[in-house]
Amino acid sequence: MPGTCVIGLQWGDEAKGKIVDLLAGRHDIVVRYQGGANAGHTVVTQGETYKLSLIPSGIFRREVQCVVAGGVVLNPATLIEEINGLSARGVPVAENLIISDRAHVIFPWHFEEDRLLNELCTSGEAIGTTMRGIGPCYRDKVGRSFAIRLGDMYRDNFQNRIEQIVRAKSQILAGLGGSAMPLDADEIFETYREYAQRLKPHVADTTAYLLDAVDADRSILFEGAQGALLDVDHGTFPFVTSSNSSGVGVASGSGVAGRFVTKVIGILKAYATRVGGGPFPTEQDNDVGQHIRDRGNEYGTVTKRPRRCGWFDAVAARYTARLSGVDVLAIMLLDVPSLLPELQICTAYEIDGQRTTDFPSHVDDLRRAVPVYEIMPGWREEITHIRRIEDLPTGAKDYLDRISELVGRPIEVVSVGPDREQTMFAPS
Ligand code: GDP
Ligand code: IMO
Ligand code: MG
């Protein structure tokens, strides 16, 4: 079975949605398997721009089956809004979307916890979460006692479970200094019962579905959310999200064993961005950063926050490419750094006077890392109209070659604009 997976190798927003949409046509099934509505994946097709949070970016291909697998944390209101929004724009969702009955559900108390706990990060700096209840929902999943999965919402004891959890959560929230708005078990039950009815036609055992698909040799495309540097185990902890957003999360989130993923595509921006708190060694809080932010429209898809921008960090990208088992790279938004007189690539860090190309495991060491830069000449022309890699200006080709060399993987895709057509594939 040809299983391909698309993984962001930075701090998210690498334009995974665009690549998944492009590749979806060559697959039978597209799967979201971790994260939740903290993700904002953009697809531009036929002059229309779509922002997806929970629905896989394969939804624009009628022949493709889209799957939201059990590793995703689900905000039913967002999902219903997304389904309705797509249907209203003529994108049919009814037939080709299934959602795992194992997916954990986000409830009002999760939003409140997200708000109260975000500021309490151990390192003194706020994580700057998307406030979508993601961390609190994953915490309850691992803690088990207060967790509700989508499948639980169709059981007779659903109302009892809500009442029990509301009692406990009210005390917990009061202890954390909340909640201005008391939780009303009856109201929450009624609202979520309606959500459950609306989603019922889509709910399925997606693990079984995907295992059958593997047996039937159908081709599956796995759509990672966030980026590998936000991975809860291997990223810049604690400034991370709460799921395994690097390549290591595909199997646990989907139920499909890693050995069936035969190709991993690592997605990289031609520079670096980060939303929220945490160290970012190559950040350019200056005119260069602003140039990138303006040209790349670097404002959060979900929260509209201005993204922090900086130079390409090859130390981090080499680490995440290895961590995620990447085979080939897609370099996105190469048009954004055009017009700069020169570009810089971080090739090593100096930490307390010691030079290293290893990515530090502790956030305090990363905070002290001083980037060692290699300077490359820029290309002072627009490239958004170019359709073949060999037609790119020499400066851009040299820049790509150097990234490939430093990251240690070949480049298969280059993107010079948001449209499907603004994509170039390396000759195979
Ligand atoms: P994702 O979360 O990884 O899917 O990425 P986002 O959708 O959050 O952010 C990527 C943004 O870049 C979106 O607005 C895309 O439409 C846009 N985009 C994708 N590829 C390119 C490109 O090559 N050039 C430019 N200028 N924009 C791009
Ligand atoms: P996509 O899939 C960029 C960041 C948040 C915050 C941290 C934790 O569009 O690339 P969370 O709400 O997950 O607890 O926030 O993770 N973050 C993202 N940054 N792109 C994303 O998704 C992100 N999802 C979460 O900004 O720093
Ligand atoms: Mg995004």
Phi, psi of 100 (to 5 degrees): -70, 135
Mean per-residue pLDDT for 45-50? 94
Determine the distance separating the centroid of ligand 1 and the alpha carbon of 41, expressed in angstroms: 8
pLDDT confidence of residue 121:
63
Residues with Cβ within 6 A of ligand 2?
A: 8, 11-13, 38-41, 127-130, 132, 134-135, 225-227, 230, 241-242, 275-276, 301
Lowest mean pLDDT among 1-15, 41-55, 103-117, 299-313: 299-313
Q: Looking at this protein, which amino acid is placed at residue 16?
A: K
The two structure tokens encoding residue 31: 């799967």
Interatomic CA distance for residues 178 and 81, integer angstroms:
28
Angle of the 76-88 helix axis to the 185-199 helix axis, nearest 10: 40
Residue of 13, 21, 140, 335 with catalytic role? 13
Predicted confidence band of residue 22 (pLDDT cuts 50, 70, 90): very high
> Over 70: is that where the pLDDT of 308 sits?
yes
Minimum CA distance residue for ligand 1 atom 19: 418
Q: Which atom of ligand 2 is nearest to the CA of 230?
A: 16
Lowest mean pLDDT among 188-197, 253-262, 299-308, 357-366: 299-308
Q: Length of the chain, please?
A: 428
Minimum CA distance residue for ligand 1 atom 28: 418
Residue of 27, 28, 41, 231 with catalytic role? 41
Annotate 156-178 with DSSP letters as a single string.
TTHHHHHHHHHHHHHHHHHHTT-
pLDDT confidence of residue 221:
98
Mean per-residue pLDDT for 103-123? 86
pLDDT confidence of residue 180:
62
Q: Looking at this protein, which amino acid is placed at residue 347?
A: T
Interatomic CA distance for residues 336 and 382, integer angstroms:
9
Instruction: Answer yes or no: 41 catalytic.
Output: yes
pLDDT confidence of residue 300:
84
Q: Which ligand is nearest to the CA of 298?
A: 1
Average pLDDT, rounded, for the chain: 95
pTM, to two decimals: 0.97
Interatomic CA distance for residues 52 and 244, integer angstroms:
20
Determine the distance separating the centroid of ligand 2 and the alpha carbon of 226, expressed in angstroms: 6
Predicted confidence band of residue 4 (pLDDT cuts 50, 70, 90): very high
Instruction: Answer yes or no: 313 catalytic.
Output: no
The residue behind tokens 């109209």 is 385
Q: Which ligand is nearest to the CA of 416?
A: 1
